[in-house]
């Protein structure tokens, strides 16, 4: 039986080497992404009295929902450009918040909700952007 050569790649789940698209964490990330997006859509369209309140602040719930959804999206779509992923979430948030205008909701709370949504998105994407920036600097010679 022939052995495969060791290419020096770490193939463990949390290693640095390549990870298969059908690996368990990749599949779990996609499921988490779908669940997060569906939860947001359902929470937007269900009557307020049905949706459970997780925090005292309505805006913190918006922030947390988009923070979790953005993290799940980053994990589910590792090859997608951050600019494209972020733009899709911005459009998603604005479309969801604007649907309330058709029901006659006042504009001010919807803008506050959208700001909270975008804040959660920014909080999730910022560490990735900072990490990419830091990687551009070569290590200092000893």
Q: What is the full DSSP assignment across 50-63?
A: TSPP-SS-HHHHHH
For tokens 């009557």, the residue is: 47
pTM greater than 0.85: no
Q: Where are the alpha helices (DSSP H) in 19-138?
A: 24-45, 58-76, 82-98, 107-135
Backbone angles phi, psi at 48, to 5 degrees: -55, -35
Per-residue pLDDT of the chain (142 residues; tens, 9 = 90+): 555 545 555 556 667 778 888 888 899 999 999 999 999 999 888 877 777 777 788 899 999 999 999 999 999 999 999 999 999 999 999 999 888 888 777 888 888 999 999 999 999 999 999 999 999 998 888 6
- So where are the chain's domains? 24-49+56-135
């Amino acid at each position: 039986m022939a052995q495969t050569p060791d290419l020096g790649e770490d193939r463990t789940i949390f290693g640095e080497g390549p990870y298969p698209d059908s690996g368990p964490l990749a599949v779990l990330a996609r499921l988490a992404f779908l669940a997060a997006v569906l939860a947001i859509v359902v929470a937007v369209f269900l009557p307020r009295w049905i949706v459970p309140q997780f925090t005292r602040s309505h805006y913190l719930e918006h922030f947390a929902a988009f923070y979790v959804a953005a993290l799940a999206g980053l994990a589910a779509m590792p090859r997608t450009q951050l600019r494209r992923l972020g733009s899709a979430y911005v459009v998603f948030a604005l479309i969801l918040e604007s649907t309330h205008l058709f029901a006659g909701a006042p504009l001010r709370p919807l803008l506050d909700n959208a700001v909270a949504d975008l804040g959660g998105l920014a909080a999730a994407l910022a560490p990735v952007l900072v990490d990419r920036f830091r990687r551009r600097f070569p290590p200092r010679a000893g």
